[in-house]
Amino acid sequence: MDTEGVQEVAGLLKDLPAERGQLLPALWRVVEHYHALTPALIGAVSEVLGVAYAEVYGVASFYTLFDNIEGTTPVHICTDVMCALQGAEELKAWAEQAAAGLPITVKESACLGQCDHAPAAWIGQKILRRATPQVVQEAVKAVHHG
Ligand code: FES
């Protein structure tokens, strides 16, 4: 990432102390802002927080919700127990169909904390509760168009 890009990330994280303990909030902000966590963004976070790239990468790749090093827009479909019982696999298939040919990666997610409203999905900035195939397909297309 060029100097300008690193400065943009620095602006995004300006109120966070530059320390390892701020990795999770920093990564959340970057993902929310860029809808991706590319190697370049990981490098920028590393530089801004003064934490080794390998360590930032390790945290980013450990948490599946951050795991987006391919740089596509992630669509998370919860496939944990409650959502599995409410048709998560079918929902995932519908999401994959809607995402076909788009720079979107449909991922299985662990529990999104919405068990009472299963099945759940996290698309763009929104958590979808009691998600239906139609709602998921519309959300996938909307996240692509911004
Ligand atoms: S199991 Fe899907 S939100 Fe909890």
Q: Are 76 and 121 in contact (CB under 8 A)?
A: yes
pTM (two decimals):
0.63
| Dist. CA 85 → ligand 1 center (Å) | 10
Residue 66: its pLDDT value, please?
66
Element (H, E) at 75: strand 73-78
Highest mean pLDDT among 38-42, 68-72, 87-91, 108-112: 87-91
Which residues sit with their C-beta closer than 6 Å to ligand 1?
A: 78, 80-83, 111-115, 118, 120
pLDDT band at 121 (very low <50, low <70, confident <90, very high): very high
87 CA from centroid of ligand 1 (Å): 11
Tell me the longest C-alpha to C-alpha distance in the chain: 48
User: Quick check: 58 pLDDT over 80?
Assistant: yes
Please give the distance, rounded to the nearest whole angstrom, from the Cα atom of residue 138 to the centre of ligand 1.
21
DSSP annotation of 117: G
* Nearest one of 110, 116, 146 to 129, comparing CA atoms: 116
Contact 2, 43 (CB under 8 A): no
Calculate the average pLDDT of the chain: 87
What is the number of the ligand 1 atom nearest to the C-alpha of 111? 4
CA angle 2, 4, 8 (to 5 degrees): 120
